[in-house]
Amino acid sequence: MIHPHPGASNSDEFKGFNEARRIMWGHEARARVYERFELTTFIVDTDVAAVHVDNTARADRVSLVAFDKAGQQVGVDTLYIDEPGQHLDIAPEFDHDFTDMDVVPESQLERAIARENGWVVNLTALREYDLVADRRATQRAVFLAHLQDMMKTGDVRGFLFGRGESDGTDAA
């Protein structure tokens, strides 16, 4: 039987842990999209403005259709899914709706979006993504989320931020 920490209530005992898990899932989705797109030529092809990701038609592969700024198809590719962790779920930071990407009316891209069988990656947002910076920011956010739980339970009473040496007198 698991006994909760004496100072924590059951309803919010793992609030920081749950927040940390949500933060990690977001990072993992962004990193997976970036790393999988690095396997294609789309990320370096400046003629490609958007890519429709059909992640619903087949369980073993993801079909990619590339579009230029005018919304016309300029290429296709397929990414095979050998493991469940390779599936390209929506990463809002790259999604055309969340990034307010302009879609040319009556274009092939607009018709692909209307079919609602996947999602569209804004390649400008994906190209600007910095995996290393995101990883560092995620580490800090996860730490702070866990710190919240540890402070509530009394596991942590003080901490230091910064890179300098401390004489032990400036704990927060």
Predicted pLDDT at 106: 96
Q: Which of 105, 167, 147 is nearest to 20 (CA)?
A: 147
Predicted pLDDT at 170: 46
Phi–psi pair at 92, nearest 5 degrees: -50, -35
Q: Are 89 and 124 in contact (CB under 8 A)?
A: no
Q: Which of 74, 79, 114, 82 is nearest to 97 (CA)?
A: 114
Q: From first to last of the 172 residues of the chain, give the pLDDT tens digit.
A: 334 444 444 456 667 788 888 899 999 999 999 999 999 999 999 999 999 999 888 888 999 999 999 999 999 999 999 887 788 889 999 999 999 999 999 999 999 999 988 999 999 999 999 999 999 998 988 888 878 777 777 776 666 566 656 555 544 4
pLDDT digits (tens, 9 = 90+) for 78-122: 999 988 778 888 999 999 999 999 999 999 999 999 998 899 999
Predicted pLDDT at 154: 72
Q: How far is CA 89 from CA 28, 46, 54, 137, in A?
A: 10, 24, 10, 21
Around Cβ 3, how many Cβ atoms within 10 Å? Answer: 5
Predicted pLDDT at 160: 56
- Tokens 């891209």 belong to 109
Nearby residues of 24 by Cβ (< 8 Å), 6 or more positions away: 138, 142
Predicted pLDDT at 168: 54
SS3 77: strand
SS3 164: coil
User: d(Cα 87, Cα 9) in Å, to the nearest integer?
Assistant: 37
Predicted pLDDT at 58: 83
- Tokens 């290429």 belong to 75
Predicted pLDDT at 12: 64
Predicted pLDDT at 149: 74
Q: Which of 136, 37, 27, 29 is nearest to 78 (CA)?
A: 37
